[in-house]
Chains A and B, each alone.
Chain A
Amino acid sequence: MSESRKSKNITQAENACEDTKWADGKRLEKEWPGRAGSQAIRARNLQKKYKGFELSVPQLEVPKGFATALIGENGAGKTTLLNLLTGIRLDFKGEISYFEQQEKMSDSVQERIGYTGPGCYFLPHWTIGQVEEISSLLFTNFHREAFRTLCEDLGIDRKVTETVKKLSDGNRMKLMLAAVLARNTELLILDEPASPLDPLMRDKLCDMIREYLEQGAGERSVFFSTHNIADMENVTDYAIILEHGNIVEAGFVEDLKEKYILVKGEAEDAEKAREILFSISRSAYGFEGICLARNLDRLAGMDIATETPTLSQISVAVMKANTRLKL
Chain B
Amino acid sequence: MVKLLQNSGVPIYQQIAEQLKTDILAGRLKEGEYLPSIRGLAKDLKISVITTMKAYEQLEAEGLVTASQGKGFYVNAQDSEMLREQHLRKVEDSLLEAIHAAEIAGMTDAELREMLGTLLDMKESQEDL
Task: Give the tally of cross-chain contacts (CB within 8 A).
Answer: 53
Cα-based distance from A206 to B67 in the complex (angstroms): 27
Cα-based distance from A222 to B9 in the complex (angstroms): 29
Cα-based distance from A236 to B50 in the complex (angstroms): 8
Whether A234 pairs with B48 at a CB distance below 8 angstroms is yes
Q: Is B51 engaged at the interface, CB distance under 8 Å to the other chain? A: yes
- Chain A's closest residue to B72 (CB) is A217
Interface residues of A in 158-207 (CB under 8 A from B): 206-207
Given contacts A217-B37, A308-B11, contact A211 B50 (CB under 8 A): no
Cα-based distance from A300 to B51 in the complex (angstroms): 30
Whether A65 pairs with B47 at a CB distance below 8 angstroms is no
Interchain nearest-CB distance for A276 vs B (Å): 23
Total count of chain B residues near the partner, CB < 8 A: 18
Q: Is A307 engaged at the interface, CB distance under 8 Å to the other chain? A: yes
Q: CB within 8 A of B53: which of A35, A67, A217?
A: A35
Whether A213 pairs with B49 at a CB distance below 8 angstroms is yes
Chain A residues in 8 Å Cβ range of B40? 214
Whether A213 pairs with B50 at a CB distance below 8 angstroms is no
Q: Is A34 engaged at the interface, CB distance under 8 Å to the other chain? A: yes
Q: Is B74 engaged at the interface, CB distance under 8 Å to the other chain? A: no
Cα-based distance from A211 to B49 in the complex (angstroms): 11
Whether A254 pairs with B51 at a CB distance below 8 angstroms is yes
Q: CB within 8 A of A34: which of B39, B51, B57?
A: B57
Whether B11 pairs with A257 at a CB distance below 8 angstroms is yes
What is the 8 Å Cβ interface bit string for chain B, positions 71-85, against chain A (1 contact, 0 not)? Answer: 000000000000000
What is the 8 Å Cβ interface bit string for chain B, positions 1-25, against chain A (1 contact, 0 not)? Answer: 0000000010101000000000000
Total count of chain A residues near the partner, CB < 8 A: 26
What is the 8 Å Cβ interface bit string for chain A, positions 248-288, against chain B (1 contact, 0 not)? Answer: 00001110010000000000000000000000000000000
Whether A210 pairs with B13 at a CB distance below 8 angstroms is no
Whether A252 pairs with B39 at a CB distance below 8 angstroms is no
Chain A residues in 8 Å Cβ range of B13? 254
Given contacts A34-B57, A254-B13, contact A210 B50 (CB under 8 A): no
Q: Is B89 engaged at the interface, CB distance under 8 Å to the other chain? A: no
Interface residues of B in 22-41 (CB under 8 A from A): 37, 39-40
Whether A252 pairs with B50 at a CB distance below 8 angstroms is yes
Sample of 15 A–B contacts (CB below 8 Å): A65-B49, A66-B49, A206-B46, A207-B43, A210-B42, A210-B46, A210-B49, A213-B42, A214-B42, A216-B39, A217-B37, A217-B39, A236-B48, A252-B50, A308-B11
Closest 10 CB pairs of A and B: A237-B50, A214-B39, A210-B43, A254-B54, A214-B43, A237-B49, A237-B48, A213-B39, A254-B50, A252-B50
